[in-house]
């Protein structure tokens, strides 16, 4: 087993413990509580690498990159007013059936986004 840096482990722990789909800035804030010396650059680099390696998912909504430690294929609902991201549950197999027609293609990750206004914002 490869040994990973404690910074990387901490960032992964943070992402696995939240459903909030945090931005890099928020992951950084969280990471600093446990590791006061961690730099924003380190957080960015690790998030980038984890995304490239397919260990985490990321998607851009309202020009902000959101990171998701949950690798189970699932769509999201994003509120354009408050920016809140909500996980939607959905049959994994069915989502992947969508790409079955693309012969020989292998799925490494997915991002499904529904955009709109959440209930709280709508009722304001
Ligand atoms: Zn909202
Ligand atoms: Zn999610």
- pLDDT by 10s per residue, the chain, length 124: 557 899 999 999 999 999 999 999 999 999 999 999 999 999 999 999 999 999 999 999 989 999 999 988 888 999 999 999 999 987 777 777 777 777 787 777 778 899 999 999 999 8
The pTM of this model reads 0.86
Q: Is 45 left (phi over 0), alpha (psi -120 to 50) or beta?
A: alpha
**What separation in Å is there between the alpha carbon of 25 and the centre of ligand 1?**
20
- The whole-angstrom separation of Cα 16 and Cα 70 is 7
Question: Do the beta carbons of residue 80 and residue 116 sit within 8 Å?
Answer: yes
What pLDDT score was predicted for residue 2? 59
**What separation in Å is there between the alpha carbon of 77 and the centre of ligand 1?**
10
Fold of the 6-122 domain: Arc Repressor Mutant, subunit A (1.10.10)
**What separation in Å is there between the alpha carbon of 24 and the centre of ligand 2?**
15
The total of other beta-carbon atoms located within 10 Å of residue 32's CB is 14
Q: Which run of H or of E encompasses 50?
A: helix 40-52
């Amino acid at each position: 087993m490869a040994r990973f840096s404690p910074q990387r482990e901490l960032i992964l722990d943070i992402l696995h413990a939240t459903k909030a789909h945090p931005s890099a800035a928020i992951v950084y804030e969280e990471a600093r509580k446990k590791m006061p010396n961690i730099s924003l650059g380190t957080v960015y680099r690790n998030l980038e690498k984890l995304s490239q390696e397919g260990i985490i998912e990321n998607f851009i909504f309202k020009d902000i990159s959101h990171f998701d430690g949950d690798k189970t294929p699932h769509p999201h609902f994003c509120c354009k007013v408050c920016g809140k991201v909500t996980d939607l549950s959905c049959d994994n197999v069915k989502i992947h059936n969508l790409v079955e027609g693309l012969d020989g293609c292998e799925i490494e990750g997915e991002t499904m986004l529904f955009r709109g206004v959440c209930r709280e914002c709508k009722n304001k």
